Structure 1
Amino acid sequence: MPEPTTQSRTVPTSDGTFELRWAEVTDRGRRRDVNQDAMLAHYPLFVVADGMGGHIGGEIASSSTIERLSAVAEKGAVTPKTIEKALSRAVADISAHPGATDDGTGTTVTGVYLDLTGDEPTWVTLNIGDSRVYLFRDDSLAQVTTDHSVVQELISSGRLSPEEAENHPYGNVITRAVGPSDDVVPDYVRLEVVDGDRFVICSDGLTKELTDYGILHFLLAHDDPAEAISAMLEAALENGGRDNVTIIVLNVERVASSPEAD
């Protein structure tokens, strides 16, 4: 099993100085021959992509998407405009492999970035597909992103309960993806920067095996991001590991000001 390590960065903002600590891990799981997930943890952007498509199509889709978003993160100019331009380029990359990709090839893309361009710092989540961003705040866990899936549409319309959705036969069918036949404009949610917040960004390989309560349990048990994702991954594999599993945990902590000298 991979051994993740926690990285950190101190970020001065108009609302004070924050220390960000994060760790990431990806694993093939126990039933898949290849890992079609990809991830990016490059300040200020943290993203998970879960590829789909026969042969190597899913790998091409997720890796192309992460490569294009990585270039955006390296430049530091992360905005909805630069994200959408990168995703459009990823679609062109996917279409450039006609022997390995088709209209059914694509990838989810889900994550969060820190926006310091406004009067106050904010987090912005982005989402296409059914990978997820969770927010841990005040010892509780909430899903921030909304799945683009057949099951979620049935839940939203009142035709299916969350309990029934867990074993629904269309549980793997998503309604939006980054691919040749799909829209590449993500949903965005803006969140304030709060001391003590923690984000979990993950592919559905984790949420197939762990309930939200299970994710919360491991966050409460492990403050260190690397320890938290290692525990989550181990549990997901023990519970079946039916799909590729990718997890990023990101901690947000305000740095106390040094007292002024007398």
Structure 2
Amino acid sequence: MFVGQSALHPPTFTKSLEANYLPMPRFASFTEVGPRQSNEDRLLLPIERDGRVLLAIADGVGGAAGGELAAEIAIGTLSELFSGDAELPTLFAEAVKRMQAASSQDGRYAKMATTLSAATLKGDELSVCHVGDTRVYHLRDGGLATLSQDQTELAELVRKGILSRRQAEKYSRKNVLLYALSPQNEYEIYSSSATVRERDRVLLVSDGVYTRVHKMQIAELSKNETDLDGFLSKLREMAIASGPRDNFTALAYEI
């Protein structure tokens, strides 16, 4: 339900995959360290294989050693193994296997974890697989639909009616994740889909963006900024002006 190329710090990809990345100006991105010592956010810039496009975002869990490595493994697995008929849940599971292998080699990484949100496009069908609290938005005209679901303690309490929206604003455990990809813990994949049309936008963001810039502001900005590069540039400016408290990252793709 709807409510009413500038890659500033591009991730590193293997040279063998570079030919698969889509030409500008269909996407734009940014990723910033914010006030943190390191950036644990990772992006997979859009790739197309066999007529199917993939884009993804991961946010390494900062409270555990190896969050940055977990995000790297998640994005790297998708980048390497994605194909026209690859099942995203299978790729998520493979990412976990690779995290388990890494943690078995170095016990410091036994509790590493990351969120992962991935979206595929084929024709007019947009499909999303998601674990954690990064988000996927579908933008059209002045409307915005959220295609992911925050898998946090706070969001679950609100969904169950235990906390009101007002109470949620003062809740002290806002960042506690119920699910993430990790070597040790179980996870649940949230899946969704949507039909897209020309000029629609798909926006993937980390919590460092959406906790500082409300989705209604994002929808209005997208409506007013017809240039995709300009849209992402102004979204970055808004996130900076709001006083970021974390890494903040976004990837936009225009149909």
TM-score (norm 2): 0.82
Structure 2 residue aligned with 1:35: 39
Q: In structure 2, do the counterparts of structure 1 residues 202 and 190 end up closer, same or farther at CA, with 3 Å as the change threshold?
A: same
Structure 2 residue aligned with 1:26: 31
Structure 1 residues 101-120: aligned runs within 5 Å: 101-103=109-111, 105-115=112-122
Give the alignment partner of residue 179 of structure 2, picking from 172, 176, 182.
176
Q: In structure 2, do the counterparts of structure 1 residues 139 and 94 end up closer, same or farther at CA, with 3 Å as the change threshold?
A: farther
Structure 2 residue aligned with 1:133: 136
For residues 29-81 of structure 1, the C-alpha deviation after alignment (integer angstroms, 9 at most, x for no partner) is 1x2010001010132111110001457511111011111111123x4443235
Comparing 194-203 and 163-172, the one that deviates more? 163-172
Structure 2 residue aligned with 1:207: 210
Instruction: Specify every segment of 5 or more residues in structure 2 that has no aligned partner in the other structure, as ranges.
Output: 9-20, 48-52
Q: In structure 2, do the counterparts of structure 1 residues 113 and 93 end up closer, same or farther at CA, with 3 Å as the change threshold?
A: farther
Q: Quote the Cα distance in structure 2 between the aligned partners of 1:170 and 1:250.
A: 32
Q: Quote the Cα distance in structure 1 between the aligned partners of 2:242 and 2:188.
A: 34
- Contact kept? 1:60, 1:94, Cα under 8 Å: no
Structure 1 residue aligned with 2:12: none
Give the alignment partner of residue 100 of structure 1, picking from 89, 108, 114.
108
Number of residue equivalences = 234
Percent pairwise identity: 28
Structure 1 residues 1-262: aligned runs within 5 Å: 3-4=6-7, 21-29=26-34, 31-43=35-47, 44-53=53-62, 57-73=66-82, 75-96=83-104, 98-103=106-111, 105-115=112-122, 121-252=124-255
- Contact kept? 1:149, 1:173, Cα under 8 Å: yes
Q: Quote the Cα distance in structure 2 between the aligned partners of 1:185 and 1:83.
A: 14
Q: 1:90 offset after TM fit, Å?
A: 3.5
1:178 counterpart SS class: coil
Comparing 164-173 and 61-70, the one that deviates more? 164-173
Higher strand proportion: 1
What do you get for the CA RMSD once the two structures are aligned? Answer: 2.5
- Contact kept? 2:153, 2:177, Cα under 8 Å: yes
- The letter for the 2-side match of 1:213 is M
Q: Quote the Cα distance in structure 2 between the aligned partners of 1:55 and 1:97.
A: 17
Q: Which runs of 4+ in 1 moved over 6 A?
A: none
Q: Quote the Cα distance in structure 1 between the aligned partners of 2:42 and 2:92.
A: 18
Q: Quote the Cα distance in structure 1 between the aligned partners of 2:188 and 2:158.
A: 23
- The letter for the 2-side match of 1:111 is A
Q: Quote the Cα distance in structure 1 between the aligned partners of 2:219 and 2:90.
A: 33
Q: 1:185 offset after TM fit, Å?
A: 4.9
Instruction: Specify every segment of 5 or more residues in structure 1 that has no aligned partner in the other structure, as ranges.
Output: 11-18, 253-262
1:59 counterpart SS class: helix
- Contact kept? 2:89, 2:189, Cα under 8 Å: no
Greater gyration radius: 1
